[in-house]
């Protein structure tokens, strides 16, 4: 039904002498999607993922990110639908167990907003995508760990990635929309 995830998932950055590497904190990161169903929408998420980003607030051109998402972890709160999403009709998780995202560059930095460009892979198809990125900032938690946070949003056409299954309705429409909205809330912990 849906498929972003895109992952996928993923946040940003890397590279100058002052850049720090952050590992995604799965307890404070979410990879969510929303797609039209009939006349409403269905939302879901991927619950298993891994990734890192390099971030230096003074050097946006050096930022980079990469993430992988466990396709079988798709969760729309409906067991039957999730089983269908894991099948060959959609994510085909036995053949393609992972979705991935790798950033290529950051553009148009204005205040705490920018564009994160990258490559998203779903099934065996890799396509460029652009995510709107809101920079949440950097702070230390109560345990002394430095954390950085971002919100990434975007839209993809699921058919571009080979997710073409649908069902035609008696009224002439289709069961599942093509556009998938992605929202990724990222919090990473700086690595020593």
Give per-residue pLDDT as tens, 116-161: 999 999 999 999 999 999 999 999 999 999 999 999 999 999 999 9
What domains are defined for the chain? 20-190 (2.40.128.110)
- Of residues 103 and 192, the one with the higher pLDDT is 103
Q: What are phi and psi of 107, to 5 degrees?
A: -135, 165
For residue 182, pLDDT beyond 90: yes
Gap between the Cα atoms of 158 and 170, Å rounded? 23
pLDDT of residue 18: 66
For residue 12, pLDDT beyond 80: no
pTM above 0.75, yes or no: yes
State the average pLDDT over residues 88-108: 96
pLDDT band at 176 (very low <50, low <70, confident <90, very high): very high
State the average pLDDT over residues 100-116: 93
Task: Give yes or no for a contact between 162 and 123, defined as CB atoms under 8 angstroms apart.
Answer: yes
Residues of 105-116 as b/e, b for ≥16 C-beta within 10 angstroms? ebeeeeeeebbb
Q: Which of 1-5, 50-54, 59-63, 119-123 is predicted with the least confidence, judged by mean pLDDT?
A: 1-5
For all residues of the chain together, what is the average pLDDT? 90
For residue 165, pLDDT beyond 60: yes
Please spell the DSSP secondary structure of the chain, one letter per residue.
----BTB--------STT-EEEEE-TTS-EEEEEEEETTEEEEEEE--EEEEEEE-TT-GGG-EEEEEEEGGGEE-S-HHHHHHHHSTTTT-TTT--EEEEEEEEEEEEETTEEEEEEEEEETTEEEEEEEEEEEEEEEE-TTS-EEEEEEEEEEEEGGGGT-----B-TTS-BSEEEEEEEEEEEEEEE--
What are all long-range contacts of 85-93, with beta carbons under 8 Å and residues at least 24 apart? Answer: 85/1, 85/2, 85/3, 85/44, 89/165, 90/1, 90/3, 90/163, 90/165, 91/3, 91/122, 91/123, 91/163, 92/123
State the average pLDDT over residues 183-190: 98
């Amino acid at each position: 039904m849906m498929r972003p995830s895109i992952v996928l998932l993923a946040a940003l950055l890397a590279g100058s002498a002052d850049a720090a590497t952050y590992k995604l904190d799965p307890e404070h990161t979410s990879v969510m999607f929303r797609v039209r169903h009939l006349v409403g929408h269905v939302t879901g998420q991927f619950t298993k993922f891994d990734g890192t980003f390099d971030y230096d607030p003074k050097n946006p051109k050096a930022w980079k990110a990469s993430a992988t998402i466990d396709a079988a972890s798709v969760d729309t709160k409906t067991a039957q639908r999730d089983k269908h999403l894991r099948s060959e009709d959609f994510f085909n998780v036995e053949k393609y167990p992972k979705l991935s995202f790798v950033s290529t560059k950051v553009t148009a930095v204005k205040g705490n907003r920018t564009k994160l460009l990258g490559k998203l892979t779903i099934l065996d198809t890799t396509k460029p995508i652009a995510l709107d990125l809101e920079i949440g900032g950097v702070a230390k938690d109560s345990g002394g760990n430095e954390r950085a946070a971002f919100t990434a949003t975007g839209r993809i056409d699921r058919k571009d990635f080979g997710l073409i299954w649908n069902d035609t309705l008696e009224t002439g429409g289709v069961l599942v929309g093509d556009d998938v909205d992605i929202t990724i809330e990222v919090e990473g912990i700086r690595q020593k």
